[in-house]
Structure formats: structure tokens, C-alpha cells
Amino acid sequence: MSHFKEVNKKTVYGPVKSWRFGLSLGIDPIFRTSICSFNCVYCQLGQIQEITAKRDEFVKTESVIADYKEVLENHPKIDVVMYSGSGEPTLATNLGEMIDSIRAISPKTPQYILTNGTLLGDEFVAKDLLKLDKVTVKLDAVNEKYFQMINRPAEGVTFESTWQQMVEFRPTYHGEFEVQIMLMPMNKVDIQEFAKRLSELKPDLIQVNTPKRPYPLTWHRENRGNHEKIFDYKVSELKTMNKAEAQEIVDELRELTSLEFQMFS
């Protein structure tokens, strides 16, 4: 436990073990505080400290690379590198530099990103993402009302603008393209619309989750990539959907779209 806490203080955190990816290292291009173009009601980071869609350099590439090399010394066998961390990784203007530098050190290690998709229309972001082996975009809502309620985006970020960017990016990307949905009780009414949008986007896989943990009321960097409840913090409980209900929705979506789904419970 204490070891996890130690390594989770750097721009590179983990490794996190999962049946899906094996040992993955998280890369945090945001790091200095939580910064995101969303402020999702279920975010494991808690209330986002800076809600913005403006790109910037938040941490020097050299610091990330120094941390990466240090973590690699203790864990030379890493299966995957995942850009995620303290907010939306595509907000970092030096994301592409990080991707290239890590590729030079570990040419065989696949590099993935978890993004909320709000910046896919930015030509520099799109160019950086084309270098990655897998892009996973978030799609928690398929209408403006629930998008605003669940994702609580930065000013000016709308469902339609985000959706358009995803649709335009999709055919340009030839790596694995996945969608991640956090199922909330309010989404039950939108299954047909979800099916329609997913059929249009044609992801290789749709990962469906339900919130597993209560919402932290304060920000803790240690909560990046942390799937164990090991840190003390004040939380508020979320209204969630039970597993059977979520499974029913996934089954219905699978039938309507013929796409591949994976449910995390």
C-alpha cells in the first residue's frame, strides 16, 4: 500500500495490473492539479480544480521522461502505457512530444489514451492521437441535457460539437478505437439514441462501466488510476444503476448495434 502511494506521486504512476492490459503505466501530462474540459459527476479525481478547454503545457516533457525511466528501472516489464491521469490528457500541448520520447525508449510498448473527445477537432491533437495504438473516447450521454448534467463541461463545450469532432476523427484513425460509457440511471431513457450514435461511430469495442466508488469531495492526486479504496477522503454517494439493470441495457445495445461490448462490474 505504501509503495503504491509513493509511486503515485510522480507524473508516471502505477504499474496498475488488470486482466485486460496486464501491467500498465499511467502517464499524467497534467499533473500539477486536476485540469479537464469536463467535470464529470462521478470523476474519481473529485471536483475538477480547473475546468477548461484551453490547451497548455502543464508539466515538462523532460520531467515525465525522467519519471518514466525511473519507474521502468523497478518495473522493466510493462505491457502498456496509458495517457490519463489528473484530467484530460489532450489538453497538454506537449502530448505528442511525450508519445515520441516514450516510443524512442520503449518502441515495442503499445501506447493508449483515455480522452473525453472534446479536443479531437484540434488538428494538433488529432495528429498526436494518430501516433497511438489505441484511442478510447468517453460517451456518457447522447443529448445536450444529460451531457451537461453528467459531464458538466467547460463553457462553450457542447454535446453536438464534441460528437461532430468524434465522427470526423473516427475515419482518420486506424488504430483500435474504443468508446467508454459510464452508465448512469438517467441514461435508461436514451438506449435507442445510444444505439444510433454508436452504429454511426463504429467503435471496435464499447466498454461499459457503472460508478464503483463514491465521489471524492476533495482532489487527491493519489486517486489517478487507483481502483482500490485505500485513501482516506470525504465522499458523497452517487445514485447508481444496479448490475442487472446495466447488463440488460448492454444486452439491448448489443442487439440493436451488433457491436462488441464489454461490461466492467
Our finding on whether 26 is near ligand SF4 (CB under 6 A) is no
Residues 70-109, one symbol each (x = binds ligand SF4 by CB under 6 A, - = not), give -----------------xx---------------------
Applying CB under 6 A, which part among 39-47, 75-83, 94-102, 190-198 lies near ligand SF4? 39-47
- Nearest approach in angstroms of CB 221 to ligand SF4 is 12
Our finding on whether 36 is near ligand SF4 (CB under 6 A) is yes
Residues, the chain: 265
- Nearest approach in angstroms of CB 159 to ligand SF4 is 14
3-state secondary structure 145-190: HHHHHHHCCCCCCCHHHHHHHHHHHHHHCCCEEEEEEECCHHHHHH
Applying CB under 6 A, which part among 17-25, 40-48, 103-111, 212-220 lies near ligand SF4? 40-48
Closest CA to 173 of 136, 225, 212: 136
* DSSP character at residue 70: H
3-state secondary structure of 217: coil
Using the CB atoms, write b or e for 86-119: b if 16+ within 10 Å.
bbbbbbbbbbbbbbebbeeebeebbbbbbbbbbb
- Nearest approach in angstroms of CB 42 to ligand SF4 is 7
- Nearest approach in angstroms of CB 108 to ligand SF4 is 28
CA distance 96 to 94: 5
CA distance 251 to 191: 11
Helix (H) or strand (E) holding 216: strand 215-216
Residue choice 25, 43, 125, 201 for contact with ligand SF4 (CB under 6 A): 43
Our finding on whether 48 is near ligand SF4 (CB under 6 A) is yes
Applying CB under 6 A, which part among 6-14, 18-26, 34-42, 231-239 lies near ligand SF4? 34-42
- Residue 72 or 112: which CB sits closer to ligand SF4? 112
Q: Looking only at residues 135 through 194 of this chain, which bind ligand SF4 when binding is defined by CB under 6 A?
A: 138
Our finding on whether 39 is near ligand SF4 (CB under 6 A) is yes
Residues 103-142, one symbol each (x = binds ligand SF4 by CB under 6 A, - = not), give -------------x---------------------x----
Contact between 182 and 136 under an 8 Å Cβ cutoff? The reply is no
- Residue 114 or 249: which CB sits closer to ligand SF4? 114
Using the CB atoms, write b or e for 10-21: b if 16+ within 10 Å.
bbbbbbbeeeeb
Helix axis angle, 191-201 relative to 159-169, nearest 10°?
A: 30
- Nearest approach in angstroms of CB 73 to ligand SF4 is 28
Strands 111-115 and 80-83: parallel
Residues in contact with ligand SF4 by CB under 6 A are 36, 38-40, 43, 45, 48, 87-88, 116, 138
